[in-house]
Amino acid sequence: MTTSARPLQFLRRAAVTLACLALIPSASGAGSSRSAPPTGPGGGFVDVTQAVGLSYAVRPVEPDDDGDTAARLEDGGLALVDIDSDGKPELYVAHGGGEPGRLFSWDGRRFAARLDNGGIEATAPDRSGYFIDLDGDGAMDFLSIHRDGAQAFRNDGGGRFAEMSDPFPTGSAKTHLYSMAAGDYDRDGDLDLFFAQWGKLSDGLNAPFHYLWRNDGKGRFEDITDIVPIRTLRQPGLTTPLEVSFTPTFSDIDGDGYPDVLLAGDFGTGQVLRNEDGRRFVDIRDAVITDENGMGAAVGDYDRDGGMDWFVTSIHDPEGRSGEGPTGNRLYRNLGDGRFEDATDTAGVREGGWGWGACFADFDNDGHVDIFHTNGYGVSEAGQYGLEEEYVRKYAGFLDDPSRLFMANGDGTFTERSSELGIRHTGQGRGAVCADYDDEQ
């Protein structure tokens, strides 16, 4: 799936574990009768995965007929939202390889499996899944992205889903869709979709397609990628370009009222796509954007100046053992006009290991957003997914790479405090959701 033969270990319990780290407030906080873990007076997190019913095994990835099994191992993610308006969230876990995702409902004590998966029947294991109101009826529909393409399921308003009939553009295969962001790029009142695609070989003749889909307001979409300049990768030995984007994010970075797109991409292909009045996008990436392996991303106003800043997870491997990276995460500070400056070292967030899904969230309620990202890469033994011992050794340093929690210091800098605050997750993670699932203050 990539010319550097860099597949990922499949997501087992990693994403589930990360969804269920409960925040324990400090001794002076209110809203919880639980005692704080032994992390000091500042409170911290406790792993409640098993207690809330989300500790389970997933079938391993089976070999593909095309020999591309390892390519699926980058997949997996989470979605959390209230789908039935009962005030309690539902959780969808996309496992990546092995088996299709599972839908759970929070009952106030545990996450219980939804009967018949709520009607969501993906035809293949999901790479990722999203709750989004596709047809504008106010109910959260579901979009599954997997190796067969994309499927949409309409919510009946009560949390039951039925597959939508042909809502997406016809024609060329959509088998390399990887992740998605939703936003109203043309400000017509409905949500349009922007996709990342990873591992797709362009034909060298036609412009990339299946990146931007415009919503007609009724949940039917047309491909209008021709208004977006997609950056591709050319590598020795390839006769055609490779498309290797990972994470798109809609955000109005220049304050003109139109959502722009920040696209984290592998092998230095990240883009800053400015929306010009809903007519077209222009890539305004400049020399400041230097992340080498942009994979996960988050947008937030970490310096509280009103501009949306961009955090990108990227491989930190200064010794170069893996042959990837090696210079780590990036934090791009918004200058207010769509341009960024690199605040990575000033902020202290470069050293993140092999990061994936990320989020900005104020975990300690001090008014300053913090940064979390999940981590991991590699396989534990030769023979898994057809990989040899050399591969195992090459990426061994990232197999049990812990998640990172960068806590804001209130002055534009961060301190990595994951272990100190109780986050000791070293399993393989790909996606992360940062939310108050149990409605505790």
Q: Average pLDDT, whole number, for the chain?
A: 87
Contacts of 80 (CB under 8 A, 6+ apart): 19, 89, 90, 91, 92, 433, 435, 437
DSSP line for 335-373? -SSS-EEE-HHHHT----SSEEEEEEE-TT-SSS-EEEE
Contacts of 408 (CB under 8 A, 6+ apart): 302, 362, 366, 368, 369, 370, 371, 414
pLDDT digits (tens, 9 = 90+) for 215-244: 999 999 999 999 999 999 987 877 888 899
CB 21 within 8 A of CB 44: no
Interval 357-384 mean pLDDT = 92
DSSP 8-state assignment for residue 332: E
- Report how far apart, in Å, the C-alpha atoms of 428 and of each of 192, 319, 370, 374, 383 are: 31, 22, 22, 8, 18
Interval 107-135 mean pLDDT = 95
**Weakest-pLDDT range from 3-12, 21-30, 35-44, 121-130:** 3-12
Contacts of 176 (CB under 8 A, 6+ apart): 197, 198, 199, 200, 243
DSSP line for 51-91? TTT-----PPPPPPTTS-GGGGGG--EEEEE-SSSSSS-EE
pLDDT at 29 over 50: no
What's the confidence (pLDDT) of residue 292?
Answer: 95
CA dihedral sign, ordered 232, 9, 177, 254: negative
DSSP 8-state assignment for residue 396: G
Rounded Cα distance, 203 and 243, in Å: 11
The distance from CA 267 to its chain's CA centroid, rounded to whole angstroms, is 17
Q: Which span out of 6-10, 55-59, 278-282 was modeled with the highest average pLDDT?
A: 278-282
- Give the pair of three-digit tokens for residue 278: 């809903």
Rounded Cα distance, 402 and 96, in Å: 20
pLDDT at 25 over 90: no
- pTM assigned to the model: 0.90
Interval 327-345 mean pLDDT = 97
| Residue 109 CB coordination number (10 Å) | 10
Residue 259, preceding bond cis, omega within 30 degrees?
A: no
Residue 255 identity (one-letter amino acid): G
pLDDT at 416 over 50: yes
Predicted confidence band of residue 39 (pLDDT cuts 50, 70, 90): very low
- Give the pair of three-digit tokens for residue 376: 């991991």
The number of C-alpha atoms within 13 Å of 361 and in the hemisphere containing its C-beta is: 13
Interval 322-337 mean pLDDT = 94
- Give the pair of three-digit tokens for residue 178: 């990887």
Tokens 């095994």 belong to residue: 57
Predicted confidence band of residue 71 (pLDDT cuts 50, 70, 90): low
DSSP 8-state assignment for residue 22: E
14 or 209: which leads in pLDDT: 209
What's the confidence (pLDDT) of residue 28?
Answer: 33
pLDDT at 111 over 80: yes
- Give the pair of three-digit tokens for residue 402: 């812990």
Pairing of strands 260-265, 44-47: unpaired
Predicted confidence band of residue 384 (pLDDT cuts 50, 70, 90): confident
Residue 109 identity (one-letter amino acid): R
330 or 322: which leads in pLDDT: 330
pLDDT digits (tens, 9 = 90+) for 265-324: 999 999 999 999 999 999 999 999 999 999 999 999 999 999 999 999 999 999 898 888
Rounded Cα distance, 197 and 183, in Å: 18
What's the confidence (pLDDT) of residue 257?
Answer: 97
Residue 2 identity (one-letter amino acid): T
pLDDT at 7 over 60: no
